[in-house]
Amino acid sequence: MASIVKSLRALSDPTRLRLLLLLVEEELTVAELQDILGMGQSRISASLSLLKREDLASDRRVGKNIFYSARAESVAALRPILDAARRELPESARDHSALGLALRKRKDKAAEYFNKLAGKFGRTYIPGRSWQALAHALLRLMPPMIIADLGAGEGTLSQLLARSSKKVIAIDNSEKMVEFGASLAREHGFKNLEYRLGDIENPPIEKASVDLALFSQALHHAASPQKAVDAAHRILREGGRIVILDLASHSYEQAKELYAHVWLGFSEIELHRMLKAAGFTKVEVSVVASEKQAPNFQTLLATAFK
């Protein structure tokens, strides 16, 4: 068992203290700890090595993965100190929230494996079954709402939403996109669909006036995604909901030139933190689609309430 003095010396470093607080709660891999803390592998590995050397942490190998956990017998004497640190460390609450996301991601990965297995049995073509048809059906089930489609482009999704919404306000910073979308809306007879020229970081929409704020593959174009999410919170009514569909973090640099992307996607934890920082509650973020062809983009769905 580690001596109290040596243990306290090891935990004088905030990173090692945050690591141990996480490992007391759950057995985690280096990759999961990287996601949770937003730190590089070398920094985390070095801190874990010292915690192991001081007998505060242990590891075990499962296939290619190494899982780290706190040594219960060594940590027992430090419980009062760790409890105080958990209350006083400014990063503690954020780390705990990120831990929950990491564990849910682990479960989702397991579920995805079994979903892939299930998909290999009995898959047959059924005439008329398509995601487009399903989307139309689900949209008809939506209650009549006032929706802000932020970064709407020409507004294909806005027009789908307008079929069952009280009103849709489509915002885009491209004058030509707004002109084209407004022309389509008139052509198709949508009187409840309004296009407005504006920036998603400061949309021309009254405060607390919409029921749903939607970003569909738009947030990665924002100069400041946090400002855009803050603005969405501002225009939503109490009890209103935000929905974000965007790319998961990737390394396809060409997207900046090919598609004018400002950000190379977002991690689940980044989206979760942005939404919490804006004041949203009941935040949920998960991967909902994965492309099989390179560069294998994944799509994240994030939802939350004001």
pLDDT digits over 8-40, tens only? Answer: 888 888 899 999 999 999 999 999 999 999 999
Q: How many domains does the chain have?
A: 2
Q: What is the pTM of this model?
A: 0.66
Tokens of 60: 């075990």
Residues 164 and 267 in one domain: yes
Residue 253: CATH number of its domain: 3.40.50.150
Q: Which domain holds residue 280?
A: 131-305
Residues 34 and 154 in one domain: no
Q: List the beta bridge partners of residue 246.
A: 300
Final residue before a domain boundary, out of 82, 114, 146? 114
Residues 102 and 146 in one domain: no
- Give the model's confidence band at 257: pLDDT under 50 very low, under 70 low, under 90 confident, else very high: confident
Residues 168 and 214 in one domain: yes
- Reference 112, options 293, 290, 271, 247; nearest CA is 290
Residue 126 has pLDDT above 70, yes or no: no
Exposed e or buried b per residue across 24-40, where buried means at least 16 C-beta atoms within 10 angstroms of its C-beta? bebebbbebbbbbbeee
Alpha carbon separation from 293 to 11, 84, 119, 123, 124 (Å, rounded)? 45, 49, 18, 21, 22
Whole-number Å distance between alpha carbons of 101 and 68? 18
Residues 165 and 291 in one domain: yes
pLDDT digits over 78-109, tens only? Answer: 888 888 888 888 898 999 999 988 888 887 77
Tokens of 20: 């141990």
